[in-house]
Amino acid sequence: MLNSIFDKHRRSLLIFIDLFAIVISFFGAFLLRFDFTIPAEYSSIYWVWLPVFIVIKLAIFSLFGLYKGIWRYTSLWDLINIAKAVFIASIILIVVFGFIEGLEKFPRSIFLLDLILTTIIVCANRVVVRLYYTHFYTELFSDNEKIKKNLVLIGAGKTGEKIAREIINTPTSPYKIIGFVDDDPNKRGAMLHGYKILGNVADLEHITLTYDELLITAPSSSGEQMRRIVKHCKATGKRYKIVPSLSELIDNDISLSSIRDVSYVDLLGREEVKLDKNSIELLLKGKRVLITGAGGSIGSELVKQCVAFNPAEIICLDISEQNLFTITADMERVKSNAIIKPILGDILQVKNMEKIFNENRPQIIFHAAAYKHVPIQELHPWAAVATNVGGTVNLVELSDKYRVEKFVLVSTDKAVNPINVMGATKRLAEKLIQSINIDSDTQYLAVRFGNVIGSSGSAIPTFQKQINLGGPVTITHPEMTRYFMSIQEAAQLILQAGALVEEKGKIFLLDMGKPIKIDQMARDLIRLSGFEPDKDIPIAYTGLRPGEKLYEELQSKDEKVVVSEHKKIMILYEDNHQMNWAALKSAVKDLLKISENLDSGEIQLKLKQLLPDYIPRSFMPLTEEDRMQPFTIKGQA
């Protein structure tokens, strides 16, 4: 009832409160100046000039927007604005008073005292309202209080401070803060927003205060630090969650709504990507952007990341109706002026692609459509050749014909010294863009990187399903390693690579960090799920599958790495002379024709002719380690 009356007459009530503050301040200035006994001759001056002080101060306050803000959210900047308004009003009053009455016989200290008192009282009004809403309103009026969860925040840095402030300022929040823990010894015993820093992370098990949940607010911690934090969280037996890193958030806005369970991405501890947003905006702003494979793992994230840079239109091309529906529905929830245009199509259908290019005239293309699962493509090499090579030929030729400004091919570390068809076809796709680039006005480039966490059919979702079913978790080889990064990081760096001003036809290599043992990854996931590996969830080793390597490489012996403008992106320079487009296209057409015969051996031989570094596993002698057990297709590591 009281809240509805206040909301209806808010401005009038705020002005009345300030009017009262002005009266008290002016009267207080006289009392302080004359030791609480105001002479009769000055008392008359007070009553004559009080209305003038009220009118001028309220007018200046209104001019400075003091009645537009919401007092319950008063910030430091609001208080600074009040100080400015009071100072300007005091200067005007001094000028007006001096012009009419003169300042010779009037104590000028009254103006100073009035300025100080008005600033203090007006600011205090706002601060009291804020304190009421943040510390007392919930306890007095909220029906939600009895079900609030007592929360301990791990990390008293910027993220922890922001989350704590949001909890305090949100009466309907399901959380009540108990305190913080932080490993910085200088913060121990300190207070943040009125809550004590209770100790370091190792002290979690010994906290005597009652709490229900833990919230990790240190998303920039390294992988090793995060593992230690998670270990201590698990030891408490309490539920724990995390605030994600900025790279996961499209609008970079950390809030309570972004809180989620700890995932393997957090254990990677990848350094936060710092983008040159100006260069990316220069690439995308106002442009028509075509993304192939827009419904896939990488493609859909590229769509989401592109929106932030204000393209005129994003043309989402995908062969999957379901994937296309999903990304379109996701983008409908994002506020953007960009037109999202879904197109159901197959990059192998030349006439349809020609129609799409002719009608939409894309200016920037990110080519993410490809077959990627190594064992499946070993069994169906004709499909890999048709899509990864034939589809790329169609797109690069149309890009040249329709004068696309920039074409970015999404490649893979499996293209380096490939031993499988998938890697060989992606390496051939790299050579295609390098070759056509020589005489084209379009700028072609490729971005090469390793595995992305959580992509469709990859190791982590597969392991998680196996864990949920009680195991066993199947790993092909105990010594297998892979490079990993998050989908968000990969998409951001693809955009950044596309925005770099470099020579045409280059292959960009993303900084993948250190390779990770798949065995260790599986064990970490089991522990994250609340189990112990080998004890609660068994691990089974199934042997290398067709086309798999024990480890991946990021560059071949003929490629030289050169640093770029961005520290997480490198440029690969190749010594080998590029084949001219006509010759390469002719050879690729022969490969595509051979693939129509559905003969794996012929396809591998032709790929070997085109790519001397390609050594199919069927051409290599198998070791005893390779023959551990028969393979099964259960996800791509």
Please tell me whether residue 318 adopts helix, strand or coil conformation.
Answer: strand
Give residue-wise pLDDT tens across range 607-628.
999 988 888 865 544 444 444 4
Q: Residue range 73-88: average pLDDT? A: 86
pLDDT at residue 272, rounded to an integer: 61
- Residue 431 confidence (pLDDT) above 50: yes
pLDDT at residue 627, rounded to an integer: 42
Domain boundaries, the chain: 2-141, 145-268, 283-454+485-513+553-619
Residue from 170, 197, 144, 192 nearest 259 by CA = 170
The type of residue at 284 is: L
Residue from 457, 527, 530, 449 nearest 486 by CA = 449
Fold designation for 145-268: Rossmann fold (3.40.50)
Give residue-wise pLDDT tens across range 161-212.
888 888 877 777 888 888 999 988 888 888 888 888 988 898 888 888 888 8
pLDDT at residue 528, rounded to an integer: 80
Query: 592: which residues sit within 8 A by CB, 6+ positions away?
Result: 385, 386, 389, 390, 393
pLDDT at residue 140, rounded to an integer: 53
Contact 407/397 with Cβ under 8 angstroms? no
Q: For residue 146, what pLDDT band results from cuts at 50, 70 and 90?
A: low
In the chain, % of residues over pLDDT 70: 88
- Residue 503 confidence (pLDDT) above 70: no
Residue from 367, 365, 396 nearest 288 by CA = 365
CB count, 10 Å around CB of 621?
A: 6
pLDDT at residue 314, rounded to an integer: 95
Contact 388/429 with Cβ under 8 angstroms? yes
Tokens encoding 289: 């952007």
Tokens encoding 87: 């100072």
Least confident of 218-232, 315-329, 341-355: 218-232
pLDDT at residue 48, rounded to an integer: 85
The type of residue at 92 is: I
Residue 187 to residues 96, 159, 168, 215, Cα–Cα distance (Å): 51, 15, 21, 18
Tokens encoding 450: 């390793």
pLDDT at residue 128, rounded to an integer: 84
Query: 222: which residues sit within 8 A by CB, 6+ positions away?
Result: 269
Residue from 25, 45, 156 nearest 89 by CA = 25
- Residue 439 confidence (pLDDT) above 90: no
Contact 491/301 with Cβ under 8 angstroms? yes
- Torsion-angle region of residue 53: left (phi > 0), alpha (psi -120 to 50) or beta? alpha
pLDDT at residue 180, rounded to an integer: 92
Please tell me whether residue 45 adopts helix, strand or coil conformation.
Answer: helix
- Residue 351 confidence (pLDDT) above 90: yes
Q: For residue 245, what pLDDT band results from cuts at 50, 70 and 90?
A: low
Going by the DSSP 8-state scheme, the letter that residue 313 receives in this structure is: E
Q: Residue range 532-554: average pLDDT? A: 83
> Would you call 566 exposed, middle or buried from its count of C-beta atoms within 10 A (0-12, 13-18, 19+)?
buried
pLDDT at residue 626, rounded to an integer: 45
Q: Residue range 394-419: average pLDDT? A: 92
pTM above 0.75, yes or no: no
Give residue-wise pLDDT tens across range 291-312.
999 999 899 999 999 998 999 9
Contact 376/391 with Cβ under 8 angstroms? no
Residue from 613, 589, 587 nearest 386 by CA = 589
Distance CA 387, CA 28 (A): 83
Q: Residue range 129-136: average pLDDT? A: 71
CB count, 10 Å around CB of 231?
A: 12
Alpha-carbon dihedral sign for residues 168, 173, 179, 184: negative
Distance CA 307, CA 296 (A): 17
Least confident of 237-241, 252-256, 422-426: 252-256
pLDDT at residue 175, rounded to an integer: 86
Distance CA 597, CA 602 (A): 9
- Exposure on the CB side of residue 15, measured as CA atoms within 13 A: 15
Positions of E strands within 405-468? 406-410, 443-448, 451-453
Residue from 53, 109, 130 nearest 86 by CA = 53
Q: Residue range 103-112: average pLDDT? A: 82
What is the residue-averaged pLDDT of the chain?
Answer: 83
In the chain, % of residues over pLDDT 90: 30
pLDDT at residue 312, rounded to an integer: 94
pLDDT at residue 11, rounded to an integer: 77
Q: Residue range 591-609: average pLDDT? A: 92
Q: For residue 438, what pLDDT band results from cuts at 50, 70 and 90?
A: confident
Please tell me whether residue 515 adopts helix, strand or coil conformation.
Answer: coil
Give residue-wise pLDDT tens across range 24-68.
998 998 888 888 888 888 888 888 888 889 899 999 988 888 887
Q: Are 145-268 and 283-454+485-513+553-619 the same fold in CATH?
A: yes
pLDDT at residue 372, rounded to an integer: 87
Fold designation for 283-454+485-513+553-619: Rossmann fold (3.40.50)
Tokens encoding 591: 């490969």
Q: Residue range 540-568: average pLDDT? A: 78
